[in-house]
């Protein structure tokens, strides 16, 4: 799957290396929903490693936000249940 450049992953997912909580727009996401760190060494490894996939991205922006938001909630809830800090 090619990236749709909707920015959902840069909003829905947490990015701990940037202290960005889930559900907030990344400070490096432009108004055009492009990463201003793309291709730069400062870009977090987790962002570089992310690959768009219909399982995460769904059929569009809103579905992607829903799917990724639910994944974040499950990870957070699992971490709390195991006694790990966020």
Interval 20-49 mean pLDDT: 96
Report whether pLDDT(9) > 70. Answer: yes
**Number of helices and strands (H, E) in the chain?**
4, 0
Report whether pLDDT(71) > 90. Answer: yes
In this prediction the pTM is 0.85
Confidence band of 30 (pLDDT split at 50, 70, 90): very high
Separation between Cα atoms, residue 57 and residue 16, nearest integer Å: 21
């Amino acid at each position: 799957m090619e990236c749709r450049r909707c920015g959902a992953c840069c909003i829905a997912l947490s990015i701990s290396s940037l202290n960005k909580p889930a559900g907030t727009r990344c400070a490096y996401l432009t108004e055009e929903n492009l990463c201003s760190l793309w291709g730069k060494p400062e870009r977090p490894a987790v962002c570089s490693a992310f690959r768009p996939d219909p399982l995460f991205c769904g059929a569009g922006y809103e579905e992607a936000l829903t799917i990724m938001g639910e994944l974040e909630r499950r990870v957070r809830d699992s971490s709390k249940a195991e006694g790990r800090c966020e």
